[in-house]
Amino acid sequence: MKRSELTEFAVEEEGFKLKIRRGANGLPIVTAGRGSAAPFPTGDSTPPMPIPAPTGPVANPAAAALKDEVGFAYIKSPMVGTFYRAGSPESKPFADVGAKVAENTVVCIIEAMKIMNEIQAEAKGTVVEVLVENGQPVEYGQRLFKIKQG
């Protein structure tokens, strides 16, 4: 807020209202309206508990499973939104298993804030797996397709 010289920011949706305002000391003051809980502390002067640093190697099987495999690339979501494999329910998918794709091939659409965003492969190869179901929400960086490079 300081960088952009904002003094107040408000968002309102059905049953949810969030207002952030810079106080006199420059710190944000967050208020949440009816039907929601405050997402951040609202003026409590108690400092948050620090998160202890790990003391040794931590085994994380989920992180290990997300390492890229040699010879394969992943098309990842560049945004949060809803994943669609085709331009319309009646249309065939942009890219199916076995489809050859190039860097500029459109492989899916992600709808974000009522805007349909065409997602390009950004890799050359063959689609070996579609990792998301049609119509499902996706997160930023989530893997959408697995591509065998070549």
Region 129-135 average pLDDT: 94
Spatial separation of the C-alpha atoms in residues 122 and 39, rounded to whole Å: 36
State whether 74 and 141 are in the same domain: yes
| 144/77 same-domain check | yes
Same domain for 36 and 74, yes or no, is: no
The answer to the question of residue 46 being in a domain is no
Better-predicted residue by pLDDT, 34 or 124: 124
pLDDT score, position 43: 52
- Which has the higher per-residue pLDDT, 78 or 57? 78
Which pLDDT belongs to residue 21?
Answer: 74
| 84 and 127 fall within a common domain | yes
Q: One-letter amino acid identity for 50?
A: P
User: What is the residue type of 117?
Assistant: N
Q: Per the domain annotation, does 3 fall within a domain?
A: yes
pLDDT > 70 in the chain, percent? 65
Question: For residue 102, what is the domain's CATH number?
Answer: 2.40.50.100
The verdict on 31 and 74 lying in the same domain is: no
Cβ-based neighbour number of residue 44 at 10 Å: 8
- How many domains is the chain partitioned into structurally? 2
Assess whether 94 and 140 both reside in one domain.
Answer: yes
Domain identity same for 75 and 36: no
Q: For residue 95, what are the domain limits?
A: 70-149
Assess if residue 7 is contained within a domain. yes
> Which pLDDT does position 93 carry in this prediction?
93
Domain co-membership, 91 together with 141: yes
Global pTM reads: 0.55
- Strand pairing class (125-130; 106-112): unpaired
pLDDT digits (tens, 9 = 90+) for 5-37: 777 777 777 777 777 776 655 555 555 555 444
Cross-strand partners of 32: 18
Residue at 49 is within a domain: no
Give the tens place of pLDDT for each residue, 83-96.
Answer: 999 988 899 999 99
